[in-house]
Amino acid sequence: MQERRTAKRIRTNLKARWEGLISQGDGSINDLSSTGCFVLSGGDVTEGELIRLEIHLPNRIVFVWGYIVYEIYEMGFALRFAFATEEEMHELEGLVDDLAAR
Q: What DSSP string describes 26-63?
A: EEEEEEEESSEEEEE------TT-EEEEEEE-SS-EEE
pTM for the full model?
Answer: 0.87
Least Cα distance to 37 among 75, 10, 15 occurs for: 10
What's the confidence (pLDDT) of residue 2?
Answer: 46
Q: How many other C-beta atoms can be found within 10 angstroms of the C-beta atom of residue 41?
A: 19
What is the number of residues in the chain? 102
CATH entry 2.40.10.220 includes domain 10-101 = yes
**Domain positions in the chain:** 10-101
What's the confidence (pLDDT) of residue 18?
Answer: 97
Query: Residue 92: is it exposed, middle or buried by C-beta count within 10 angstroms (0-12/13-18/19+)?
Result: buried
pLDDT along the chain (102 residues), means of 10: 63 95 94 94 92 92 94 94 87 86 80
State how far the Cα of 4 lies from the Cα of 28, in Å rounded to an integer.
24
Is residue 52 within a helix (H) or strand (E), and if so which, with residue range? strand 50-56
Q: How many other C-beta atoms can be found within 10 angstroms of the C-beta atom of residue 14?
A: 17
